[in-house]
Amino acid sequence: MSKNAKFFLPGPVYVRDEIKEAMKGPTIGHRSKDFSVLYEKIVKGIAEILHTDGRIYLSSSTATGLMEAAVRNVIQKSSLHLICGSFGQLWYTIAKSCGKDAVPLEVDWGKAIKPEAVRSALAEGNYDTVCITHNETSTGVMNPLKEISEVVKEFEDVALIVDAVSSMAGTEILVDEWGLDVCLASVQKAWALPPGFSIASISERAFERSKNAENKGFYFDFEMFEKYHLRSQTISTASTPHMYALSKQIDDMLAAGMESRYEKIIQMAERVREWARENFGLFADEEYLSPTVTCVKNSKNIDVTSLLNKLNDKGYVMGNGYGKLKGETFRIAHMGDLNIDDIEGLLRTIDETISEME
């Protein structure tokens, strides 16, 4: 693969040079004043982007770690899992592995979870928590989170925990208004940083539940997070290169305005969808298309692996279908710091490569 390959994987995503440069900041101790200043700045920026006055925790793990944290701290006994693809299934698997009474509500992949289905399931069962994947990266579906959050609010003391890994910083999320108890993401998706770091917002209810949670472990205990958060520190040694990068990215995002970032992402999405409709078709329900990733249906039955290899040789990296959709679909990310010219370049190169394959 060429050294300057253009990256259109739905994670890890393309990282611009300025971000890599920012990561070279000085090594600082995680109990130093400089660290706390950096920490406070990042937390404040993320809270602004997520429209929350609540807590923001930083984790030197990927989001899967925070998913396990949310499961252990927030689910009391029984959780309802809204599943429309591989990542919804991951939540369910994590909850099961932590000994929770996890129950799936699954729809056909490519479809979104409907608020009415959530209402019926909550009315019938006895759940204390709902787990949802906001943007299902494996199918290119974005679930109607706002509408689902309104349904969850109809039920007393049901927490809503949200995997927003591939939507946060790619589309607007109103954490407080929608009442999201945990909203978590890795930084290697729409935040457009290298992988290895993740962030979450934590509501008062989520934190209170943690106090009574049993067997929640040590590394991902919200009470431990809080203890250090109050000192503007992390529980253990943090990945300060990621924090420098995040600080730089937040500065640039807020300077340009989140609205313009979201708009740019939609423009790229529309271009990719238009191309996909003309050439292959979309895997996801038209009504719930993801702004950040398009899952293209391999209706022409091309050899996807061969296409990806040929694109690699030309310096373009895009994603195969995920899990059971491998080969049946392929995925193009249009999030982070990519722009419309990058997308045009990719689509041209795909067209050219496919005609060479015929």
Ligand X SMILES: *Cc1c(COP(=O)(O)O)cnc(C)c1O
State the residues that interact with ligand X by CB under 6 A.
11, 62-64, 87, 133, 137, 163, 165-166, 186, 189
CB atoms within 10 A of CB 265: 22
**In the complex, what is the shortest distance from the CB of residue 237 to ligand X, in angstroms, rounded to a whole number?**
19
CB of 309 to ligand X, least distance (A): 23
Rounded to a whole number of angstroms, the minimum distance from the CB of residue 246 to ligand X is 14
CB 268, CB 247: distance < 8 Å: no
Q: What one-letter code names the amino acid at 81?
A: H
Find the angle CA(87)-CA(121)-CA(77) to the nearest 5 degrees: 70
Beta strands 78-83 and 101-106, pairing class: parallel
Residue 69 CB, shortest distance to ligand X, in Å, is 12
Residue 186 or 353 having the CB closest to ligand X: 186
Residue closer to ligand X (CB basis): 62 or 171: 62
Closest to ligand X by CB, 133 vs 353, is 133
Residue 13 Cα distances to 7, 33, 212, 233, 235, angstroms: 6, 32, 38, 28, 28
Cβ proximity to ligand X, 134 vs 310, nearer residue: 134
Comparing CB distances to ligand X, the nearer of 35 and 191 is 191
DSSP state of 70: H
Rg of the chain taking only CA atoms, in angstroms? 20
Rounded least distance, CB 84 to ligand X, Å? 11
Question: What distance in Å separates the CA atoms of residue 337 and residue 168, rounded to the nearest whole number?
Answer: 14
63 versus 250: smaller Cβ distance to ligand X: 63
Identify the three-state secondary structure at position 176: helix
φ/ψ of residue 236, rounded to 5 = -130, -175
Q: Is the CB of 113 or the CB of 353 nearer to ligand X?
A: 113
The minimum distance between CB 17 and ligand X, in angstroms, equals 22
**Which H/E stretch holds residue 231?**
none
Smallest distance from ligand X to CB 155, Å: 24
Least spacing, CB of residue 63 vs ligand X, in Å: 4
d(CA 288, CA 279): 20
By C-beta, is 35 or 335 nearer to ligand X?
A: 335
**Per-residue b or e along 216-252, where b marks 16 or more CB atoms closer than 10 Å to that residue's CB:** beeebbbebbbebbeebbbbeebbbbbbbbbbbbbeb
How does DSSP assign 84-129, residue by residue?
SSHHHHHHHHHHHHTT-EEEEEE--BTBPPPHHHHHHHHHHS--SE
User: To 10 degrees, what angle do helices 204-212 and 222-229 make?
Assistant: 120
Tell me the one-letter amino acid at 327. G
Kind of pairing between the strands at 293-297 and 329-333: antiparallel
Considering the complex, what minimum distance in angstroms separates the CB of residue 133 from ligand X? 5
Cα–Cα distance list, 48 to 20, 91, 169, 328, 335 (Å) = 24, 27, 11, 39, 20
Closest to ligand X by CB, 54 or 170: 170
Residue 11 or 115: which CB sits closer to ligand X? 11
Query: Nearest approach, Cβ of 295 to ligand X (angstroms)?
Result: 12
